[in-house]
A and B are shown apart, each in its own frame.
Chain A
Amino acid sequence: MNQTSLHPGFNPNVIAIVGNQRPDSRTLRLASGVADGLAAQLGETPAVAIDLVNLPLEDGAFSPELNELVRTAQVVIAASPTVMGSYSGLLKLFLDGLPEAALLEKTGIPLMIARQARHAMAADVHLRPALLELGATCSTPSLVALEAELASLGAEGLVTAWLERSGNWLAGIPA
């Protein structure tokens, strides 16, 4: 009776993990938008975006409940701003805490916000390999949002454009 945390009955198909040091970041907004859009394409399944910066750490790791959410999801979006030319340490801490092959048979989607064009490769060079290492299938293009684009197109516009571009690959995700 005394369960205090995430309910075992809630199994979102799409989960976005957001590793931005600032709560309520644009990364969160963008990742929520992608999660939402994917959920619609997969037949209106539940989706959720987890803002890691809000979660407490126990002994230097996130709650096992979070791993449980990942375990039951089909699509995992790993989202981060560019920090020192790579993805954030916060996201790394989460990925490190996942069990081996935690993303096997899941679709992994790298999502990064880059301040400058020369950082645009970070998603493919750093984040994609980490997801592959965990067993994910990363069949879509990474979603890289340049800050200038984000300002001009808005999160919604970027999400729509990316979903259109990724349509062929998304069709392969089992619903």
Chain B
Amino acid sequence: MDENGMGPDLETRFAGLTNRLPAGSAAVTIRGSADAESLTLAADSLTVLSSEPPLLAVSVDSGAPVTEIPESARFTVQFGEGGAGRFECALENTVPAGDHRLLIGRVEAMEDPEPGGHRPLLFNRSGSSLLVGHLPSKVPLVDISPGGAPPKVAREAPSEPVATIAIVGGGASGTLTAVQLLRRSAPGLRVVLVEKSERVGPGVAYGTEDEQHRLNVPAGQMIGLPDRPYDFLEWVRREAPETQPQEYLARRVFGRYLVDLLDRTIRESAGVAFERIRAEAIGIDAGEPGGLVTLELDDGREVRADRVVLALGNGRPSELPGIDPALAASERYVADPWSPGAIEQALTDEAVLLIGTGLTTVDMAISLGGPGGPEMQAVSRHGLLPRAHGDTMPVRGRPVALPDDRCSLTELTSRLLTEIAVAGARGEDWRVAFDSLRPITNDLWRSLDRRDQKRFLSDLSRIWGVHRHRMAPRVALRLERLKVNRRLRVRAASIIRAELEEERVAVQLRMSNSETEERLLVDRVINCTGPTWDPRRLDQPLVGRLLEGGLLRADALGIGFDVDDDGALIGSDAVTSERIFAIGPPRNGVLLETTAVPEIGQQAELLADLLLSGLARTLGRARELSVA
């Protein structure tokens, strides 16, 4: 697909590929004439040029904060893990090479690593290399030039932060962004996370305390860190060694993992400050181009940052037509089932109407489905519940074959249907066909023209949704039981109106199949239509201010924020922001699917790289070396 220009550009792909290429790496300490100017950088490559005379070359990012390297400069190249093994070089020459500089040095002294105890530094972002060592950021570098100055410690990090990145929102998106920034940044960065609720990590999605609210994908596929796909599974196994990758764990387990992941990362990141502010960001001032962005908090404080990441998570369900204002204002109508304590009262109701039949409805039906809970009806235009995951990982099935060039929506649908039909007839798993589209969904979506995108949203998104966003098998089983026991009834209908009638709610329904109407008397109506991301409908002061200020607009389809491929906000004047970015669900309109952890994890990694490279001149080269 990339050959057709649908994928990322050449530079991005090159960077992505070379990141997976294991290469010798080194920590380079450059010293000018004055000792105070010494600086430690991660070299992007280390090459032996010549034996006679002994010459080495290291390449460093031109964005690194060494604009002028004096001719008399010396540098230390440290190539072994934990400080074992180093070359002392005098600078011979510097050669500009694209966005890097090649430093060529004549080796004047060297220190052998202990025989056998030497682990070379290797750079490989995919984490799958044979041997990857740590950048020894905590080990002071010692000058060992023979007969030279006495050992001295090179300056490592500025004591005061030199750049600030503010993250608004402390759910999964915000947490993963913070983690990637902390892992990737050079010393000198300050990460500020603004979150109004007490806990940072779980957010709404993974904050539910209901043990029966399960993750919608198996543990082995909850990939928050793209370079460590099994980090979550390994974390779970520390306490529950028997956990299998295909298990559907409770959602709060992932919430606890996020909390721990952030804590761990904060502890391990030397030189990068993390600050958590408990407040709600209610206003924003972009200031002058190139200057600082100011966030206004509800407690009167302000945060000034070089970059701002909006990690706002899922918006509350949109308002429904037909709900009488008096009902909407009463406690008999639950506008957002995910707000804390929202459905507590419904537990003792006799009859409840759930509007919507998607995954939110499934969660609510499970929560209200215990003994003594209400009888429930769930309605949507189609009346389709999400499909269930298979009991086991599918072993057989075919991926959807796509043509080499662009494909219309009709062709895509046709191919998908064909694979499903084939799978059905052969007794294979249709899920394979759907899941094969997952890695390319964002690209497929962007390749559709506007007309096809609109058609998808109006006709196919529901069908796509019920197949693509499936529920755990155990959850499906419980729903079946609720249906059999007449506790839950799912119907294809739309709501004409709902209003208070004495102590209850009268609802007028129109059945989708027969066009007949029906009247229903319930104790409560719960809006389970699922999250929205149209900024014009989001009930958040900060989003309102962004819209007013022209810094943000809805995307062309009105289903999310208008952002570019990097997540940078596009304002009302079509100008792309260089300092304000969005991550996660609000990118919906551009990507179609951006709610699942693996997608958000990837966005967080790319966004962290982008933000840090933009601040590289201030910060020095951010770079990650991890232990295999």
Interface residues of A, Cβ cutoff 8 Å to B: 1, 3-7, 9-10, 12, 16, 24, 28-29, 32-33, 35-36, 39-40, 44-51, 54-56, 58, 63, 65-66
Contacts and interface: CB of A to CB of B under 8 A. Distances in A.
Q: Is the interface of B mostly helix, strand, loop or mixed?
A: helix
B391 to A, nearest CB: 10
B413 A46 contact: yes
B421 A65 contact: yes
Contacts of B417: 6, 10, 48, 50
Contacts of B424: 4-6, 63, 65
Contacts of B410: 32, 35-36, 39, 47-49
Task: Tell me which of B384, B421, B427, B454 has the highest count of chain A C-beta atoms within 10 A of its own C-beta.
Answer: B421
Contacts of A63: 421, 424-425
B460 interface: yes
Contacts of B387: 1, 3
B409 to A, nearest CB: 8
Given A9-B462, A56-B425, A36 B384 contact: no
B164 to A, nearest CB: 47
A48 B413 contact: yes
A61 to B, nearest CB: 11
Interface in B399-439: 403, 408-411, 413-414, 417-418, 420-427, 429-430
Contacts of B619: none
A9 B466 contact: yes
A28 B435 CA distance: 24
A66 B424 CA distance: 12
Task: Tell me which of B420, B423, B476 has the highest count of chain A C-beta atoms within 10 A of its own C-beta.
Answer: B420
24 contacts: A1-B476, A4-B427, A5-B421, A5-B423, A5-B424, A5-B425, A6-B417, A7-B384, A9-B384, A10-B460, A32-B414, A33-B408, A39-B410, A44-B455, A44-B458, A46-B460, A48-B410, A48-B413, A48-B414, A50-B417, A51-B414, A55-B418, A63-B424, A63-B425
A2 B510 CA distance: 29
A175 B270 CA distance: 65
Nearest to A52: B418
A141 B244 CA distance: 60
A74 to B, nearest CB: 14
B463 A51 contact: no
A59 to B, nearest CB: 11
A35 B417 CA distance: 15
B467 interface: yes
A54 B418 contact: yes
A94 to B, nearest CB: 13
A1 B425 contact: no
A73 to B, nearest CB: 13
Contacts of A39: 410, 455
A51 B418 contact: yes
B301 interface: no
B422 A55 contact: yes
Contact of B423 (A4, A35, A48): A4
A3 B425 CA distance: 11
B451 interface: yes
Contacts of B511: none
B388 interface: yes
A44 B451 contact: yes
B344 interface: no
Nearest to A44: B455
Nearest to A58: B425
B430 A5 contact: yes
A47 B403 CA distance: 18
Nearest to A12: B413
A167 B480 CA distance: 49
A137 to B, nearest CB: 22
B459 interface: yes
Q: Which 3 A-B pairs rank lowest in CB-CB distance, beginning with the nearest?
A: A5-B424, A56-B425, A4-B424
A155 B146 CA distance: 77
A18 to B, nearest CB: 9
B382 interface: yes
Contacts of A65: 421, 424
A46 B459 contact: yes
Contacts of A49: 410-411, 414
Contacts of A32: 408, 410-411, 414
Nearest to B463: A10
Contacts of B409: 36
Interface in B344-398: 382, 384, 387-388
A134 B615 CA distance: 69
B124 to A, nearest CB: 39
Contacts of B451: 40, 44
B413 A55 contact: no
Nearest to B476: A1
B406 to A, nearest CB: 12
A7 B388 contact: no
Nearest to B403: A24
Contact of A46 (B426, B427, B455): B455
A56 B422 contact: yes
A45 B454 CA distance: 11
Task: Tell me which of A32, A40, A44 has the highest count of chain B C-beta atoms within 10 A of its own C-beta.
Answer: A32
Contacts of A4: 420, 423-424, 427, 429-430
B415 to A, nearest CB: 8
A151 B454 CA distance: 31
A54 B430 contact: no
A71 B403 CA distance: 29
Contacts of B459: 44-46
A6 B414 contact: no
Contacts of A16: 414
A40 B451 CA distance: 9
A36 B408 contact: yes
Contacts of A44: 451, 454-455, 458-459
Contacts of B460: 10, 46
Contacts of B480: 1
Contacts of A10: 417, 460, 463
B289 to A, nearest CB: 41
A65 B410 CA distance: 18
A16 B408 CA distance: 14
Contacts of B458: 44
Given A49-B410, A58-B425, A7 B467 contact: yes
A28 B411 CA distance: 9
Given A5-B430, A35-B410, 15 more contacts: A4-B423, A4-B427, A6-B421, A32-B408, A32-B410, A32-B411, A39-B410, A44-B454, A45-B459, A46-B413, A46-B455, A48-B413, A51-B418, A55-B422, A63-B421
A50 B455 CA distance: 19
Nearest to B427: A4
Contacts of B413: 12, 46-48
A65 B455 CA distance: 23
Contacts of B455: 39, 44, 46
A148 to B, nearest CB: 23
A7 B463 contact: yes
A6 to B, nearest CB: 6
Contacts of A46: 413, 455, 459-460
A11 B44 CA distance: 55
